[in-house]
Amino acid sequence: MIPQLLFLIDSAYDHVSWHGPNLRGSIRGVTPQQAAWRPGADRHNIWELVVHAAYWKYVAWRRLTHAKRGSFPREGSNWMAPPQQVTKKAWKTDIELLADTHRSLREAAASLRPGDLARKPAGSNVSTLALVTGIAAHDLYHAGQIQLIKRLMS
């Protein structure tokens, strides 16, 4: 069961998928200016979606590893504003944050045992299985949003 979970989170994040772009594929080639473009008032932009996805990967990792709160590299939680300066460096830093949090989450998921899947991790209202599969669904949901935002730009 663990290999299937890893397949699921990998294909939702950066491995080849039959359904079209996964989360990493959806941001491939996006410029900092495109990432910061807002489709409407009070609507999230691509940059915010990327950091949001990284944050929830961090939350899932934290629940799987029993790590303490407060170690996410960006200030805030859930929805964080993009940096004041829209630069290649800032955009690259947040894409790397997404990659790093995915890598950490994947390592935690790879260390699970089948018996862990039915248990609820501390701080979670759902089972470990639901948490890990939920992260994959979350990645795909936001990949779709990003694809839509890119279409709205053109």
The CATH number for 97's domain is: 1.20.120.450
Per-residue pLDDT tens digits for 68-118? 888 898 888 899 887 889 999 999 999 999 999 999 999 999 999 999 999
- The model's confidence at residue 122, banded by pLDDT at 50, 70 and 90, is confident
Q: How many CB atoms lie within 10 A of CB 119?
A: 12
- Per-residue model confidence (pLDDT) at position 83: 83
- Per-residue model confidence (pLDDT) at position 81: 81
Dist. CA 33–CA 130, nearest whole Å: 35
Give one word for 147, left, alpha or beta, with left for phi > 0 and alpha for psi -120 to 50: alpha
What does pLDDT average to over the chain?
94
Percent of the chain with pLDDT over 90: 84
Using DSSP, state whether 20 is helix, strand or coil.
Answer: coil
Which among 30, 44, 15 has a CA at the least distance from the CA of 139? 15
Task: Report the number of distinct structural domains present in the chain.
Answer: 1
> 98: domain range?
2-153
The DSSP code for 81 is P
